[in-house]
Amino acid sequence: MTHLAATATLIATTPAQPTLPGWAVLAVLALALPLTYAMVCAATPFGACRHCHGVGKTLKPNGHLKRWCHRCDGTGLRLRWGRRLFNYLRQLHRAGTR
C-alpha cells in the first residue's frame, strides 16, 4: 500500500490487468495483410496499368490517340506482382515434380 502525501488515507494498489501484448497484435496483422493480398490476387489477378492508368493508350492534349501503351500492349491491364510470384512458384513446383 502506498500513502498519499497530504493525507493518512491508504490506497490499495492492484496489479495491472493483463492485456494483449503489442507483439501479438503485430503478429496478427503480419499474417492478415499478406493473406488479404493473396485473396485479392486470386480474385483479380490483373490491375490497371500504371503507365496509361488503365486506358491502354496515351493521348495528345487534344484527345487524339498518340500511341498504344508499350507496357501493357494497349490492354490497360498489368499482372499483379503477387500473382506473378504465385505463377512462378507454381511453375517451379511443376518443373520439380516431373
Take residue 94 and report the three cell numbers written for it.
511443376
pLDDT score of 57: 84
Distance CA 8, CA 21 (A): 36
User: What integer pLDDT is reported at residue 1 of this predicted model?
Assistant: 56
SS (H, E, C) the chain: CEECCCCCCEECCCCCCCCCCHHHHHHHHHHHHHHHHHHHHHHCCEEECCCCCCCCEEECCCCCEEEECCCCCCCCEEECHHHHHHHHHHHHHHHHCC
Residues of the chain with pLDDT under 70: 1-20
pLDDT in tens, 51-77: 888 888 887 788 777 888 888 988 999
Task: Specify the pTM.
Answer: 0.58
Q: Find out whether 71 and 48 touch, Cβ atoms under 8 Å.
A: no
Domain ranges across the chain: 48-98
Share of residues in the chain with pLDDT > 70 (%)? 80
